[in-house]
Amino acid sequence: MSTRYDAHVLIVGGGATGGGLAHDLALRGLRVTLLERGEVTSGTSGRHHGLLHSGARYAVGDREAGVECIRENMILKRIAPGTFECNDGLFVAVCDEDLEYLEPLVEGCTGAGIPVQRLNRAQALALEPNLNPELKAAVRVPDATVDPMRLILRFFATARHNGADIRPYMEVIGLLVHDGVVTGAMVRDHVTGKEGEVHADLVVNAAGPWSERVAAMAGAQVPMTPSPGVLLALHGRYCNMVINRMHKSGDGDIVVPQRGLSIVGTTSWVVEDPDDLSVPEDHVERMYAEGSKLIPALRHAERRAAWSAARPLVGAAGAATGRELSRTFQTFDHAEKDGIEGFVTITGGKSTTLRGMAELCADVVCRKLAIDEPCRTRENVLLPHTAYYSEAVAA
Amino acid sequence: MSRQEHPPGGPAVTQTGQDDIRPVRVYRYKRGDGGERFDEFEVPVGPHTTVLDALRFIQRHHDPSLAIRHSCMHASCGTCGVQVNGREQLACVCSVRDQGEEITVEPLANLPVLTDLVVEMSGFFARFPHEHPIIRSSGSPTDGENAEVHLEGDHEVTLELAGPLHHHPLHNDHRAAPPAVDFVRFEDCIECGLCLSACPVAATSHDYVGPAALAAAERLLEEPRGVEREDVLAWAGRPEGVWRCHVGFECTRACPADAIPAERIMALRRELTFGGPDDKERKR
């Protein structure tokens, strides 16, 4: 650890974004407090299907996102060993129409630096015998799977070890604003039921789909369109690799194994309130229908759970399904945007790129605080997820 | 924005067409608040409403100060363990309608309560053997319906490798099936603490390491991953270890992930009693 700084950064939101940022800033020697209204990763971050993207899903339409994913995929496998099922992924063509996506996919992956290998039907079935036996072709890419919470806990654990104060069950109920400067937050502690204030030199809004609501507490604007998707968990592990449909992103285009379960995802629509998430039964039925095109046995697999998660998409309201909005992230310095000092929002993005997002946001934070420290998160191997609990005792 | 239009967890579909509203009693505790109590809330229930849906409905519509743990919503992360009518459950996969007309939700037992339904998990993790990797070998997926694979020797395939994949690269010979791959998967145990809560011995014997930790140790006998067998057996055979178990099998009954802790405790006892696999063979 290098220099310790007095500068105190308050992060609002205990998901992937906040966890990555707390770790990055703590490694740079800043004082960090992170507040989360519930358990860490209780919002969107803990609820995804468990895919560590290779970038192949984005390589055709958005090469930049593909490059970003493969870079972060390789960094995360290095800094969080033992947290991923590194079984690769397949993109599977189950009809002639899917084959039209084959060449663009291979070309896109190659262009983005994503290792890719073509497989014929027999090769694909030898790897994954439960695949649709009528499949036309497959492409193998370095997708992996992850327990979303356990990966993010490693960031929180390491941040705690480096001095960050990670506070779940501490809800931000208002921001302290004096003369156009955000100086901290009003909080309600759900452990004691008491209210209080936390003061800071800079507040970072990392509240995911709740970012618009947190920004509004300071009178700032962050246009968010929370976009839920339904995911379906089925009893039985029908594959070891991540199975993707070989066509452009759509409903029910992925099956991800998790322990003794198979997860089918997902749909996409938009809501105004990220707490208002239903699980429409027709979406569940669509997961069964689309998932079983990839793995026919899923048709009769027993339902373990169906749930919704709200993607934190950045963009104006009015979008129809959310698929037309960007999956990349944005950092807003509200001094430039709204004339409010001491307040930064980072939002959007996806779990695979959480470290990279944090690096860019931490650069903005350090610049604003006139601190010159490099990012060290590419090399720093994270503590195991269980250290989140033992570091809490030590703290 | 409309208010909740559906019962949490799914659309409003009830047999009568009437809303099915049920009372849910919830354990409450805030530090320094003068003790514990139960609050009762009314929750609309649909066919797929889970206890976690009900608790989140209470947070959103009745009392935002209710503290609960949850993350993945599908029994994979292990955070939402509670007692429902006295039985250990993951709230996210526990159907409200399956619980009868009355529902009481309490925190897990044998771990200290932090607030409301939230227990402190540090004591749970402190019990585990120091080395317990969560990545294990996987093998073939279940129920291979297409196990008969016909190689298509005349099928024209070109392999244009952009570079080797990062692990177990395939042979480039398109006529051969890819070699067997050493797939990995996560351990079954999701570290939820339900087994510890259900364990009658842990309730009275506070230094007993408990079912989850012992099951993790037994997994290291099955698949050592660099850990010495003798060290595992010495750890499991300590006074706080396997001999405390009263063989009630409550842990296996409570386990939501089929990690069979009780059977693993019995396997450890057998190993400690009879020694290595040679001895087992002889007894058969």
Q: Residue A391's pLDDT is what?
A: 78
Q: Residue B278's pLDDT is what?
A: 54
A232 with A297, same domain: the answer is yes
A184 with A286, same domain: the answer is no
The answer to whether the beta carbons of residues B167 and B181 sit under 8 Å apart is no
Q: Which two tokens mark B105?
A: 């939700």
Chain B partners of A115 at a C-beta cutoff of 8 Å?
A: 161-166
A216 with A352, same domain: the answer is yes
Residue B116: other Cβ atoms inside 10 A: 27
Q: Which residues make beta-bridge pairs with A261?
A: A235, A258
Asked whether the beta carbons of residue A278 and residue B79 sit closer than 8 angstroms, the reply is no
For B220-231, write each residue's pLDDT tens digit. Answer: 999 999 999 999
Which position has the token pair 């793995």?
A295
The answer to whether the beta carbons of residues A303 and A314 sit under 8 Å apart is no
A253 with A381, same domain: the answer is no
Element (H, E) at A77: helix A63-79
Name residues of chain A where pLDDT drops below 70: 1-2, 316-327, 393-395
Distance from CA of B191 to the nearest CA of A (A): 10
* B145 pLDDT more than 70: no
Q: Where are the domains of chain B?
A: 21-119, 122-137+186-283
CATH of the domain at A242: 3.30.9.10
Shortest CB distance from B141 goes to which of A110, A130, A233? A130
Shortest CB distance from B31 goes to which of A114, A115, A191? A191
Distance from CA of A261 to the nearest CA of B (A): 9
Shortest CB distance from B145 goes to which of A130, A389, A393? A130
Q: Residue B182's pLDDT is what?
A: 85
Three-state secondary structure along A96-113?
HHHHCCHHHHHHHHHHHC
- Whole-model pTM: value is 0.91
Element (H, E) at A387: helix A387-394
Shortest CB distance from B149 goes to which of A84, A122, A297? A122
| A53: in domain | no
- Classified as helix, coil or strand, A56 is helix
A155 with A218, same domain: the answer is yes
* B52 pLDDT more than 70: yes
Three-state secondary structure along A283-322?
HHHHHHHHHHHHCHHHHHCCEEEEEEEEEEEECCCCCCCC
Distance from CA of B60 to the nearest CA of A (A): 8
Residues B57, B63, B69, CA angle at the centre, nearest 5°?
Answer: 65
| A63: in domain | no
Confidence of residue B276 (pLDDT cuts 50, 70, 90): low
Chain A: residue whose CA lies nearest to B78 = A149
Whether the complex's predicted ipTM surpasses the cut of 0.90: yes
Radius of gyration of chain B (CA): 24
Chain A: residue whose CA lies nearest to B11 = A280
The answer to whether the beta carbons of residues A31 and A51 sit under 8 Å apart is no
| A50: in domain | no
Which position has the token pair 């909080």?
A187
Dihedral of CA atoms A217, A218, A223, A225 in degrees, nearest 10, equals -20
The answer to whether the beta carbons of residues A345 and A257 sit under 8 Å apart is no
- Classified as helix, coil or strand, B171 is coil
Q: Residue B201's pLDDT is what?
A: 97
- Distance between first and last Cα of chain B: 68
Q: How far apart are CA B216 and CA B224, in angstroms?
A: 11
Q: How far apart are CA A230 and CA A364, in angstroms?
A: 34
Show the domain range for A353.
8-45+149-223+326-394
Average pLDDT, chain B: 83
Q: Which CATH number fits domain B21-119: 3.10.20.30, 3.30.450.20, 3.30.300.130, 1.10.10.10?
A: 3.10.20.30
Measured in degrees and rounded to the nearest 5, phi and psi for residue A276 equal: -100, 80
Asked whether the beta carbons of residue A238 and residue B118 sit closer than 8 angstroms, the reply is no
Which among A314, A348, A365 is the end of a domain?
Answer: A314
Least confident of B106-115, B206-215, B224-233, B274-283: B274-283
Q: How far apart are CA A346 and CA A16, in angstroms?
A: 11
* B13 pLDDT more than 70: no
Q: Residue A111's pLDDT is what?
A: 96
The answer to whether the beta carbons of residues A245 and A298 sit under 8 Å apart is no
Looking at beta carbons, which pairs linking B227-235 to residues 24 or more positions away fall under 8 Å?
B227/B131, B232/B129, B233/B268, B233/B271, B233/B272, B235/B129
Asked whether the beta carbons of residue A50 and residue B186 sit closer than 8 angstroms, the reply is no
Which among A265, A284, A314 is the end of a domain?
Answer: A314
Asked whether the beta carbons of residue B184 and residue A389 sit closer than 8 angstroms, the reply is no
Q: Residue B261's pLDDT is what?
A: 98
A177 with A215, same domain: the answer is yes
Which position has the token pair 């020694």?
B275
Phi-psi region of A295 (alpha: psi -120 to 50; beta: other; left: phi over 0): beta
Asked whether the beta carbons of residue A46 and residue B77 sit closer than 8 angstroms, the reply is yes
Which position has the token pair 């959310």?
A322
CATH architecture assignment, domain B122-137+186-283: Orthogonal Bundle (1.10)
Q: Residue A327's pLDDT is what?
A: 60
A153 with A250, same domain: the answer is no
Q: Residue B43's pLDDT is what?
A: 96
Q: Residue A333's pLDDT is what?
A: 95
Q: Residue B167's pLDDT is what?
A: 37
Per this entry, what is the length of chain B?
284
Q: How far apart are CA A217 and CA A221, in angstroms?
A: 10
Confidence of residue B8 (pLDDT cuts 50, 70, 90): low
Q: Which two tokens mark A112?
A: 């983005």
Kindly state whether B157 is in contact with chain A, defined as any CB-CB distance less than 8 angstroms.
Answer: yes
Asked whether the beta carbons of residue A47 and residue B71 sit closer than 8 angstroms, the reply is yes
A112 with A241, same domain: the answer is yes
| A320: in domain | no
Report the residue of B55, B113, B124, B146 to disrupt the A interface, i.e. the one with the largest count of A CBs within 10 Å.
B146
Q: How far apart are CA B74 and CA A329, in angstroms?
A: 27
The total of structural domains in chain A comes to: 2
Asked whether the beta carbons of residue B125 and residue A390 sit closer than 8 angstroms, the reply is yes
* B203 pLDDT more than 80: yes
Confidence of residue B35 (pLDDT cuts 50, 70, 90): confident
What's the mean pLDDT in B83-106? Answer: 96
CATH of the domain at A182: 3.50.50.60
A379 with A256, same domain: the answer is no
A95 with A29, same domain: the answer is no
Q: Residue B30's pLDDT is what?
A: 95
| A279: in domain | yes
Residues 185 through 244 of chain B touching chain A, CB cutoff 8 Å: 185-188, 190-191
Which among A252, A285, A314 is the end of a domain?
Answer: A314
Percent of chain B with pLDDT over 70: 76
Chain A: residue whose CA lies nearest to B129 = A386
A139 with A286, same domain: the answer is yes
- Distance between first and last Cα of chain A: 18
Kindly state whether B121 is in contact with chain A, defined as any CB-CB distance less than 8 angstroms.
Answer: yes
Distance from CA of B133 to the nearest CA of A (A): 7
A200 with A264, same domain: the answer is no
